[in-house]
Amino acid sequence: MAQEMPGDTTQPPAEESPFGQTKYDDLWGRPGYLVRRLHQIHMGLFAEACDGLDLTAVQYAVLSVLYSGEAFDQLSLSKAVGIDRTSGADVIKRLVRRGLATREPSIEDRRARVVRITEAGRTFVRDVRPQMEAAQDKLVSPLSEEEHDIFMQLLRKMIEANNGHSRAPMK
């Protein structure tokens, strides 16, 4: 539970830095590092909110995409959620195991497996939605409404511009 604050002995004084310059010397000055930390925090918040439900944010995202009832092959589903195809297959496997989704061979394309949400899955999504929202709310709770909007805007700007550099680009 113990957490570290910025200046917390983690970083050496300036002269110890690899090049003696200022940019990105401190972990807390590295955007990628802070994004990783915030991602971990969100996962923690989500797990906390869904205490005992044994559900992850990614699993909920997959179920969210499936919620409409539309059928997806595994690759399209993974892309829609923005995860790697192999990760997606794993997530789907777990959802199927819990009876929240089905995965059956496609009739039109014999390579593909068709994934659909079950009624139990739809019910589950509805039941858990408040917890998902609580985790989101808590994550951004330190921000004003205006800051929240700016934050989302900046996130989207970075994601859209760099979309191709992730193994799992969206759409």
Partner DNA sequence: GAAAAATAGGGAGCGTACTGCATAAATTTT
Partner DNA sequence: AAAATTTATGCAGTACGCTCCCTATTTTTC
42 interface partner picked from its own copies, DNA, none, CB below 5 to 8 A per type: its own copies
Tokens of 85: 């195809």
147 interface partner picked from DNA, its own copies, none, CB below 5 to 8 A per type: its own copies
Q: Considering the rule CB under 8 A, would residue 58 count as an interface residue with its own copies?
A: yes
- How far apart are the C-alpha atoms of 168 and 83, rounded to whole Å? 5
Please give the residues from 27 up to 56 whose contact with its own copies meets the rule CB under 8 A. Answer: 27-48
SS (H, E, C) the chain: CCCCCCCCCCCCCHHHCCCCCCCCCCHHHCHHHHHHHHHHHHHHHHHHHCCCCCCCHHHHHHHHHHCCCCCEEHHHHHHHHCCCHHHHHHHHHHHHHCCCEEEEECCCCCCCEEEEECHHHHHHHHHHHHHHHHHHHHHHCCCCHHHHHHHHHHHHHHHHHHHHHCCCCCC
Please give the residues from 116 up to 135 whose contact with its own copies meets the rule CB under 8 A. Answer: 116, 125-126, 129, 132-133, 135
- Nearest approach in angstroms of CB 93 to its own copies is 19
Contact residues toward DNA (CB under 7 A) are: 1, 36, 40, 43-44, 47, 54, 56, 58-59, 73-76, 83-87, 89-91, 94, 106, 108-113, 166-171
Q: Considering the rule CB under 8 A, would residue 155 count as an interface residue with its own copies?
A: yes
- Nearest approach in angstroms of CB 3 to its own copies is 4
Pick 97 or 161: Cβ nearer its own copies: 161
- Nearest approach in angstroms of CB 36 to DNA is 5
